[in-house]
Amino acid sequence: MGEKNLKITFWVLAFVMLSALLVISRDAGISGDEEVHYLQSEMVFNYFSSMGADKSSLDTPKTHLQYYGQVFDNLVTVLIHWFGIEDIYGFRHLMCSISGWLTILVTALFAAHISGYGAAIFVLFLFAVSPGFLGQSQNNMKDIPFALAYISSVYYSLKLVYSEVKPTKQTVILLVLSIAFSIGIRAGGILVVFYLGFFMFLKFISDWLKQKKPDINQLKKQLILFSGISLSGYLLGLILWPYALQNPVLNVLKSYEVMTHFPTTVRQIFEGRIDWSDFHPWYYLPKYMAITIPVVVFAGIAVFLLNAKKNYSENQKTQLGLLLFTVLFPLVFVILKGSNLYGSWRHFLFVYPGIILISAQ
């Protein structure tokens, strides 16, 4: 089948998947976290509608949600108020499903960018047989939108840095929005800014080694571009986050510190024992991933690792290698950090699109 027909097939299947997700969302239940996040979004709405007079969103000693940007929750609540929507949770689930579909779509387009629409179709298939991700896409308004922001940031960063043609304004704008979305959901989303800088640095070093001398003019252009994108994305990500607006630097750092050692601990069953979440063994996260990710995804990764050397150009290998880095780095970091983990690996769903993409190659 030619690339044109593969592209048509891909878009047909993508919209079939969207329709299915929207229909399924009507039967989704309310998750354990959903009510408190919705109530926080209402307090955020009151903060802005009262021009900052209502400060209830800044004092959340029990839920600690002042430290979350939760921009997706906040945006959905704004829409609920603007359009007078009565079925609040039904609408939230509908919007969550759309964000889940957009995550799948961006991942598939990322695959098409590297390997063509055959790989993009395989991405749709692998997501379709991933019940864990599809289930979370119905009502997880925090981790699914963050997965969208994360994979989008990686995609547009690599496209900006490693594209063989001059990057378009659309790529720059979408990267800024992706960075803003990442930071606006979780303070840890600032990691994608460091990815962008890291990718640019590696590209500069690579070009230097090939050309035998550094291109200073190109370096200056890259620094200006990096600064503009990063600052724009950072500031835009704070717009709907009252706590961060009180001090756009120190409060974001404080939020990051809280998130890496989240103060709320819960008792969880793991390996037949009931333990507090901050006392789980180091392999809690990788074991849960190993037993819940479909076997076909692992099979795809194995095939990719065996054939990557002969099937891809140097540019493709570089992008896939950096994508793999963005999957592994957060996992290794939290394991070494001994972070408080619970609820299986839902807090790390943001690396799953990258895993799917590698498996689909």
Mind listing the pLDDT tens digit for each residue in 14-34? 999 999 999 999 988 888 789
Sequence-ordered alpha helix ranges (H) in the chain: 3-25, 34-49, 71-82, 88-115, 117-128, 131-139, 143-162, 169-185, 191-211, 216-237, 242-246, 250-260, 284-292, 295-311, 314-337, 352-360
Query: Which DSSP symbol is given to 275?
Result: E
Instruction: Report d(CA 31, CA 37) in Å as an integer.
Output: 10
Q: What is the pLDDT along the chain (361 residues), one digit of tens a residue?
A: 688 889 999 999 999 999 999 999 998 888 878 999 999 999 999 999 999 899 999 988 888 889 989 999 999 999 999 999 999 999 999 999 999 999 999 999 999 999 899 999 999 999 999 999 999 999 999 999 999 999 999 999 999 999 877 778 999 999 999 999 999 999 889 999 999 999 999 998 888 888 877 778 888 888 999 999 999 999 999 999 999 999 999 999 999 888 776 666 677 777 677 777 666 777 888 898 999 999 999 999 998 888 867 678 888 889 999 999 999 999 998 888 777 677 778 888 999 999 999 999 8
Please state the φ and ψ torsions of residue 283, each to the nearest 5 degrees: -90, 10
- Locus of tokens 């598939």: 108
- Give pLDDT, residue 213: 78
Q: What is the pTM of this model?
A: 0.93
Residues 233/237/239/245 CA torsion (nearest 10 deg): -110
Tokens (6 digits) for 201? 């640095």
